[in-house]
Amino acid sequence: MEKPQIPATLGGGINMDYSKIIISQYQAALKMLQQTIIRCPDSIWDSPEDQTKFWHIAYHALFYTHFYLQDSEQTFTPWDKHRREYQFIGRVPWPPHSPPLIGVPYDKSDLLEYLAFCRQQVAERIPQLDLEAASGFSWLPFNKLELLLYTLRHLQQHTGELMERIGSRAKVEIDWVVMHRD
């Protein structure tokens, strides 16, 4: 049986640039995360009542957005301000599966800097990816296209979590971003 292909054209012969569409949706999701970071009240940013701090969830979402835009784990270069184990929520995924060592929180300016870096990575990396190639990450057994969709869902899940946190506690509303176009 022949493998189904993504059509190069859509009804009426209109050419579609899928990388531009994917980039637009990543940039829109990052814009929504940016709003949550900017609008998060200081009282919620590192609240002692939260098991997982607001800033930590935002960092986690950015880290994995950046990470999964790479060809593989081996080709990944962490952001200059990355702190060991800060990307993990819950437990570290390898033995002895201990909680990550989290110390000094990131501040808003750091995360906004990382977000800008991720936006640049989205614009640069997505057009370079072979969407039919393997994900490049042995624990994710699908192709790059599905990896991009998987990562976009992850980014939006955590953005929604942060929107809910600041919405319910501080009545802060975040604007829905439909798409991003340069």
Q: 99 preceded by cis ω (within 30°)?
A: no
pLDDT in tens, 27-65: 999 999 999 999 999 999 999 999 999 999 999 999 999
| Residue 147: pLDDT over 80 | yes
The arithmetic mean of pLDDT across residues 12-18, rounded, is 61
Query: Average pLDDT of the chain?
Result: 91
Q: Which residues pair with 130 in a beta bridge?
A: none
pLDDT in tens, 124-145: 999 999 999 999 999 999 999 9
Share of the chain above pLDDT 70, in %: 91
The whole-number pLDDT of residue 180 equals 87
CATH architecture of the domain covering 15-43+53-170: Up-down Bundle (1.20)
The whole-number pLDDT of residue 10 equals 43
| Residue 120: pLDDT over 50 | yes
- CB-based contacts of 93, cutoff 8 Å, min separation 6: none
- Judging by beta carbons within 10 Å of its beta carbon (0-12, 13-18, 19+), is residue 47 exposed, middle or buried? middle
Domain ranges for the chain = 15-43+53-170
What pTM, to 2 d.p., does this model score? 0.90
The whole-number pLDDT of residue 75 equals 96
CB crowding 100-129: b at 16 or more within 10 Å, else e: beeeeebeeeebbebbeebbebbeebbeeb
The whole-number pLDDT of residue 94 equals 86
The arithmetic mean of pLDDT across residues 145-163, rounded, is 98
